Amino acid sequence: MTGALQQFLNHLRVSHYSERSIDEYEREVRLLFVFLDGRGITKLSGIRRDDLREYQTYLFHHKKKDDVPLSLSTQAKKLSAIKTFFSFLVKERYLLYDPSSEIERPRLSKRLPRGILTQREAARLLSMPDEGKPLGMRDKAILELFYATGMRNTELRMLKLQDVDLVRGEVRIDHGKGRRSRIVPIGEMAALAISSYLESSRPKLVKERDDGWLFLSVRGMRLERAGASAIVVRYAKKAGIKTPITCHSLRHSCATHMLKNNAGLRYIQDLLGHQCLSTTQIYTKVELSDLKRVHAKCHPRNRR
């Protein structure tokens, strides 16, 4: 079982899955192995459909340390990883049939994105960094780039100096979801912020070795995931924004604000790097929720 798992992980690597995704797959499969071991199953050939059905039931009733059940989306994610693993086993002839083929993931309702800023809140957030200090210049460039492009946390942190073309006003993203690359515009304000950062701030953050990462930490290293998140959270609090904000909130805000200003869905799809237009269409539902709120507030038949 362990050998098959290692072959599966190697397959994910050569298929260009991110290390984070590979770690998640490994964790989910090992959790299944622990469950099966408790039932006396130590060989792949001994796994039956009923064993996986019981594992699905176990996930449904399992509770986290805070006594909260696993969400349906978490259950679906765990089962998806397991189904991918068994599909690989059948394809590589480790198994003759797929015991997970009849396992159905929980049906999920598409939730609207949370933490979307108003345009006024976004402007206030972007004005918070102190541009008179090196870290303030860096943070200003980070916030502007997040909001201008809607890129993900990892996509921003993995940018290198050569990925940004300030003359053309473009940035190349090579570490998108599914390792898909794209080139997106960064806009005038983000370009100015990045230019100031590169000229006056980044040289002060570089230590003995410069590996060419665009955004550096105080130690001169590539910015960490938690570091980028902390920057957004800190300035959101400073701006007096009550809604919990993350890096992804700026991504959602970018798409929603562009849609409000009449950008086509296809353009937003290209900007965000969505593979399917249906993923982008969720922002039309955000628009509808805004319409309902305004209708309730402004329509004479809704006034009390």
| Enzyme catalytic residues | 152, 177, 248, 251, 274, 283
Tell me the C-alpha to C-alpha distance, in Å, between residue 147 and each of 32, 33, 187, 243. 39, 42, 10, 17
213 three-state secondary structure: strand
Residues near 144 by beta carbon (within 8 Å), at least 6 away in sequence = 126, 187, 189, 190, 193, 194
Residues near 124 by beta carbon (within 8 Å), at least 6 away in sequence = 239, 240, 241
| Type of residue at 65 | K
Q: Are 47 and 36 within 8 A, CB to CB?
A: yes
- Residue of 163, 285, 287 lying closest to 213 (CA atoms): 163
Residue 22 to residue 8: CA distance in whole angstroms: 9
Task: Provide the token pair at 301.
Answer: 């038949």
Task: Provide the token pair at 11.
Answer: 């397959």
Helices assigned H by DSSP within the chain: 2-14, 19-38, 49-61, 72-91, 119-126, 134-149, 153-157, 187-196, 202-205, 225-238, 247-260, 265-272, 277-280, 282-298
* The length of the chain, given as a count of residues: 304
Provide the CA 174 distance to its chain's centre, in angstroms.
Answer: 15
| Residue 48 falls in which region: left (phi positive, over 0), alpha (psi -120 to 50) or beta | beta
